Amino acid sequence: MKKALSLILVLILSLSLIVTGCSSSTSKGSQGDAEQAPENDIKVGFVYVGPAGDMGWSWAHDQGRLYLEEKLGVVTMYKESVPEGPDVEKVLNDMIDLGANVIFTTSYGFMDYTEKVAKENPDIKFLHCSGYKQLDNMSNYFGRMIEPRYLSGIVAGMKTETDIIGYVAAFPLPEVIRGINAFALGVQSVNPDAVVKVKWVNSWYDPAREKDAAIALLDEGADVIAQHADTPGPQQAAEERGKWSIGYNADMSEMAPNAYMTAPVWNWGAYYVEQVQAVIDGTWESSSVWLGMKDGVVDLAPLTKNAPEGAQEAVDKAKEEIINGTLQIFAGPLKDQTGTVRVPEGTVMTDDEVWSMDWFVEGVEGEIN
């Protein structure tokens, strides 16, 4: 028994030696690499709703983060797969505790928590993506995804043979609704008979459910699948059925080489560099921006061999017209699903009206609940 006891003592002693021994030598290094630290003390945090490797929404933001690191050499940190619940507050406080002074929160459901923590930490700058709240130290930013979505609608409208296009959508939020509408208007600009069928998955990130929704749409006769959800699930469904697809967030050709035609994509890097540079220069001010293709934040990914003939020319033409302002996506006459005229001929919806859209245009099949 004495032997056992002494053995334990030795173990405890050696363990405590290890712990205390490394405490002095490594405590400095534990919070980011010291040798990489730049001249300023800017640390930028990113909060993602999905895994950084989701090849979708969060991946696009993470590409922006990496670009920011490369361009400005600032220290960044991120937390992935954060649920849109009270954990957000803890994650933000953890980042502040780790020295973050600029934090990007990149999901709609993070808004209220970001606002709360922003009020408690007036010295920290927050930038929330896709919401609408603004404080002195909290910006909101987003991209006019409707522009490339309209372009992808052109591709889908030219491709479809059944005149049914399936659309896998996350939540019935204005962001998603206006995207569906822009897409449908793009479809109708080249194919007035085609309908867009919508299925909600009520999640931003759920590979299985998104794929199931796409399969259901294919069963209902759709031969092109588009999506406003963050995983390649719908792309895979189209690939397996030998149909075609429009991706989202990033080039998804690897996941569905024979189905994928193109995708509306995000390029956050430039905006992130610009904002963090402003913080470094001390010129940062909170703002509320909605950036389009001319700012480079959104774009349409290159068309693949699966895209229909003539699509490239049509897309190029529409893109140019959107950028120079001659093509307005939400220009009258626009009817809603019931056939009522919502935007009369000769008028164009304002940004605010588009931003808070809660109705579907004619030609969309689906319910907003």
Residue nearer to other proteins on the CB measure, 11 or 341:
11
CB of 184 to other proteins, least distance (A): 18
A 10 A CB-CB count for 284 gives: 18
Residue nearer to other proteins on the CB measure, 5 or 325:
5
37 token code pair:
């630290």
Residue nearer to other proteins on the CB measure, 98 or 323:
98
CB of 35 to other proteins, least distance (A): 14
CB of 23 to other proteins, least distance (A): 6
Binding site for other proteins (CB under 8 A): 1, 4-5, 7-8, 11-12, 15, 18-19, 22-23, 26-27, 29-32, 45, 51-53, 77-81, 83-87, 90-91, 93-95, 97-98, 108-109, 112, 132, 171-174, 177, 202, 356, 358, 368
Residue nearer to other proteins on the CB measure, 4 or 326:
4
Burial of 312 (0-12, 13-18, 19+ CB in 10 A): middle
CB of 352 to other proteins, least distance (A): 13
Residue nearer to other proteins on the CB measure, 164 or 176:
176
Residue nearer to other proteins on the CB measure, 158 or 170:
170
CB of 201 to other proteins, least distance (A): 12
Residue nearer to other proteins on the CB measure, 200 or 260:
200
CB of 75 to other proteins, least distance (A): 11
CB of 22 to other proteins, least distance (A): 4
Q: CA 123 to CA 137: how far, in whole Å?
A: 7
